[in-house]
Amino acid sequence: MNGRSDSAVRDGSAAAPVRPASKIPEVETRRVVIEHVGPHVDDGRFPIKRTIGEAIDVVADIFADGHDLIAARLRHRRVSGPGIGDSGVERETPTASTDWRELPMQLVNPGNDEWSARFEVDEVGWHEYSVIGWVDRFRTWRRDLQVKFEAGQDVALELVEGSLLIGEHAARAQQIGSSAADANWLLSEADALSDATPVAERVARVLHEDLATLMDTYADRSRATTSEPLRVWVDRERARFGAWYEMFPRSLGPDPTRSATFAEAARHLCYVADLGFDVVYLTPIHPIGHSFRKGANNSLQAGPDDPGSPWAIGSEAGGHTAIEPGLGTFDDFTAFCEEAERLGLEVALDLAWQCSPDHPWVREHPEWFRHRPDGSIKYAENPPKRYQDIYPFDFESEDWQGLWHALLDVTLFWVDRGIRIFRVDNPHTKTFGFWEWLIDRVHAHDPGVVLLSEAFTRPKPMRRLAKEGFSQSYTYFTWRNTKAEITEYFTELTQTEVREYLRPNLFANTPDILHAYLQEGGRPAFEARLLLAATLAASYGIYSGFELTENRALKPGSEEYASSEKYQFRHWDWDRPGHIKELVARVNQIRHQQTALQFDRTLRFHETDNPQIIAYSKHAPDDEAAIVYVIVNLDPHNMQHGHVRVPDVADEEAIFVEDLLDDARYRWRGAWNYVRLDPGVRQGHVFRIERQV
């Protein structure tokens, strides 16, 4: 009577209206709860990132009502197609390209229902993973049977129950047609629980792990709970590890009064390769505008022979898909790239989405730019600085879709010519959604393309760009010079959620940034910053001149270079006194030899009793004993000494440490050991720890 007594109806009181029967959603019958699946970025809105061969440690909270045991599996697969975004431009939905692969999850924290499993990604592109869990009726029955039997209770009915349960699994084996042999074997096990064999023997039989393994294979998952898939973008190794060398190809010729050609610049590639670099990054190679061209040291008046800034892109010779005539032709560029490849170098180009007033697009698509009330196009500004030689695009223009597609076409133009690495200029001044859309499209064309975000901006915009799909990011490394600053910043980059989507690339200098530390510290400052950049992060870079300890600033208090190569040809003496070329080459060699330095996640800082000495270590992801231990004197002016703590060393343990910089070996004892670092002698150690057996 719908919960009401007969007397309540007979005495004439009003009866509650009868609710129509409603269908209970099937999900309500699922007993297993799956929460907090990770790693993830913004609850799965953006993918986490990995490179080929890297592992993903998946964690989840998995539990159910009552005391039944749970089975949980990690599922992962390769998918094709871009991810889901909100840019407003047409996008594709990912589709599965491989079947789910499953791994058992382990209950790592029984008191708090925490489960984990690990899988590796072995193919560039999109992947996804999820967690599935269900009540494990067989293992629950087996656990209870064992407890009752060991307590001396009668388990006859429990054995009958188990026989029926095994029979159900045998029926599923027959239904899915996996293996008639499996089904027959399970039926024989079910029958064995009902025969006259002594109870102890039958109990021992069901405790055998072979039975449990096969029961897992044909478990009843009809009421399993499955988490929503989380995405993973997998890059090739270069997105994780590499040393970059930035250079102006026009400055690499024999005549300082004119632009070098690609053929002349190609002769310099041996120098770059000998230093041990992996990537040679060219500043923009496109035609440079003449209108409002900047002169030497960024002066407003250019002389007749001043080449202008390469970032003022576009002239009568063409735009973003053309080459500056002084550098040569496309055939010359192709030959340059082939020579780089022969030497083991990859060529990276600059993507700078801006135009000079002479760019063909200014005439053909004036709607792609912002205009002043008088109708003139607005040039770039960062008040009080003005850049009259550059017109920024208007990403909110009426024809924004046309602009976006044009920029995608430019990117793919260079990808189709073999360029698979790009440094992207000032991406934080462009619409965030544009980058997610463009990077998805580029990766759909070639998933091996690597894009470096050159965004020196506030932390949250910088992180958002990384989430949108950039393979690597510039950082605040240049302005982190004290022990406290370095420790705090790199702990954030390597030990928090940030590491799931932002890969740092530490540039020790750029054409725009000559930090006061380098200006004032002399050669020891360059040595210290090289050691830090090359060992704190798996990817780092220098702008040419760093290895020559070039430290002349435009004026006191400025981070701009004197005689900036951005505005004039430079003729370098590559063997001038005071260079650190041998150290650069040695450090790059060590990076290739030591797997620990090719990853960021294992970075750990260690105690020192001197704030001017910093110590940290990394180990190979698959070998915690393969440790590289780095010590650097942060003071370029004075000798510093003190004690440093060696990781995971007992108080009286004896170890050997080998300095990979000069092959010197030292015998240390205990966790704390003494070091002395003299500027001009050695600015740091890069130790390999050898434990005595």
Mean pLDDT of 652-658: 93
Q: Are 418 and 448 in contact (CB under 8 A)?
A: no
Mean pLDDT of 272-297: 97
* Structure-token pair, residue 17: 């209206």
Give the model's pLDDT for residue 87.
39
pLDDT tens-digit map of 542-564 = 999 999 999 999 999 999 999 99
User: What secondary structure letter does DSSP report for 561?
Assistant: B
Query: In the predicted model, is pLDDT for residue 92 greater than 60?
Result: no
* Structure-token pair, residue 343: 């030497």
Determine which one of 182, 346, 350, 425 is catalytic. Answer: 425
Helix, strand, coil fractions of the chain, as percent rounded to 5: 30, 25, 40
- Cα separation, 683 vs 674, in Å, equals 15
| Cross-strand partners of 630 | 616, 686
Mean pLDDT of 488-493: 98
- Cite the DSSP H helix spans in 180-317: 180-192, 199-206, 209-217, 262-266, 269-274
The fraction of the chain above a pLDDT of 70, given in percent, is 93
- Cα separation, 308 vs 172, in Å, equals 75
pLDDT tens-digit map of 13-67 = 445 555 666 666 666 789 999 999 999 999 999 999 999 999 999 999 999 999 9
Mean pLDDT of 213-237: 95
Query: In the predicted model, is pLDDT for residue 662 greater than 60?
Result: yes
Give the model's pLDDT for residue 80.
81
Determine which one of 158, 436, 454, 565 is catalytic. Answer: 454
Give the model's pLDDT for residue 274.
98
504-527 burial by CB neighbour count: b if 16+ within 10 A, else e?
Answer: bbbbbbbbebbbbbbbebbbbbbb
Non-local CB neighbours of 239 within 8 Å, separated by 6+ positions: 49, 51, 450, 471, 472, 503
- Cα separation, 128 vs 74, in Å, equals 11
Query: In the predicted model, is pLDDT for residue 329 greater than 60?
Result: yes
Give the model's pLDDT for residue 7.
37
Amino acid at 616: Y
HSE value, Cβ hemisphere, 13 Å, CA-based, for 643: 8
Measuring CA to CA, which residue among 311, 307, 325 is closest to residue 282? 311
Confirm whether 454 is a catalytic residue: yes
- Tokens 């540039």 belong to 507
604-691: same fold as 137-218? no
Measuring CA to CA, which residue among 278, 267, 285, 270 is closest to residue 245? 278
- What sign does the dihedral 514-516-518-520 (CA atoms) show? positive
- Specify the pairing of strand 225-226 against strand 125-135: antiparallel
Query: In the predicted model, is pLDDT for residue 93 greater than 80?
Result: no
- Cα separation, 354 vs 370, in Å, equals 12
Confirm whether 425 is a catalytic residue: yes
User: What secondary structure letter does DSSP report for 241?
Assistant: S
CA dist 239 → 50, 51, 448 (Å): 9, 7, 9
Mean pLDDT of 442-469: 97
Domain boundaries, the chain: 137-218, 236-352+400-598, 604-691
pLDDT tens-digit map of 125-166 = 999 999 999 999 999 999 999 999 999 999 999 999 999 999
Query: In the predicted model, is pLDDT for residue 208 greater than 80?
Result: yes
Amino acid at 42: D
Give the model's pLDDT for residue 94.
58
Give the model's pLDDT for residue 384.
83
pLDDT band of 83, cuts 50, 70, 90: very low
Q: Are 645 and 671 in contact (CB under 8 A)?
A: yes
The fraction of the chain above a pLDDT of 90, given in percent, is 88
pLDDT band of 446, cuts 50, 70, 90: very high
Backbone angles phi, psi at 274, to 5 degrees: -65, -30
Measuring CA to CA, which residue among 495, 50, 497, 462 is closest to residue 239? 50
Q: Are 468 and 430 in contact (CB under 8 A)?
A: no
Identify the CATH number of the domain defined by range 137-218.
1.20.58.80
Measuring CA to CA, which residue among 404, 353, 400, 360 is closest to residue 380? 353
Query: In the predicted model, is pLDDT for residue 520 greater than 50?
Result: yes
Please state whether the peptide bond connecting residue 427 to the residue before it is cis, i.e. omega within 30 degrees of 0: no
Give the model's pLDDT for residue 21.
62
- Cα separation, 137 vs 216, in Å, equals 10
Measuring CA to CA, which residue among 228, 234, 224 is closest to residue 43? 228
Specify the fold of 604-691: Immunoglobulin-like (2.60.40)
Amino acid at 18: V
- Cα separation, 3 vs 24, in Å, equals 19
Per-range mean pLDDT, top range of 12-16, 197-201, 511-515: 511-515
- What is the radius of gyration, based on Cα positions, of the chain? 32
Amino acid at 667: R
Specify the fold of 236-352+400-598: TIM Barrel (3.20.20)
Give the model's pLDDT for residue 196.
83
* Structure-token pair, residue 332: 């010359």
Compare 26 and 172 and report the one with higher pLDDT.
Answer: 172
pLDDT tens-digit map of 252-283 = 999 999 999 999 999 999 999 999 999 999 99
**For all residues of the chain together, what is the average pLDDT?**
93
